[in-house]
Amino acid sequence: MIQKNDSISGTDTASLLAVSSELLSIVNIITLPAEANYNYQEFLNVLLHAATSPTDSLESASNDLKSKIPNTKIPSADTIFNYIKLNSIENILSSFRKTNNEIFKMMNLKSKIHDIAIDFHEIPFYKRYINFKIY
């Protein structure tokens, strides 16, 4: 019987974050508008921080990063939501699938069980936007 691996070490988490950042940059999880005030890595930093820290929203993640590294360009949650809504769910999901497949191969996760989820839902405050969180 395959045992479920409920936790990974800090080193594994850092490695997974680095790999995820690199892969998401390659597959371009979203396409930024030509007139975007932020580059792709600045956008991705907030998404990955929201996904891997105790902050439970893009708003919290953006504010947290702004307080920790004040001299860095960090997009607000509203800016990120605006960028996301310009893209299709199908393209975002396709990017996640490609990224997950590569992560499974690179981190030798094939014979282990892990809980991984993407949560797409409407939040009443952001009715026109789609929020996603990587667990």
pLDDT tens-digit map of 48-98:
888 777 777 889 999 999 999 989 999 999 999 899 889 998 888 888 888
The predicted structure's pLDDT at residue 110:
65
Looking at residue 68, what is its pLDDT?
93
> Could you give the CA distance from residue 63 to residue 46 in angstroms, rounded to a whole number?
9
The torsion angle over the Cα atoms of residues 121, 87, 103 and 62, rounded to 10 degrees, is -70
Residue 118: predicted pLDDT: 58
Q: What is the pLDDT at residue 5?
A: 46
Residues 3-42: tens digit of each pLDDT: 444 445 555 666 667 777 777 777 778 889 999 999 988 9
> Which tens digit of pLDDT belongs to each residue from 87-107?
998 888 888 888 878 877 777
pTM of the model: 0.65
Radius of gyration of the chain (CA): 15
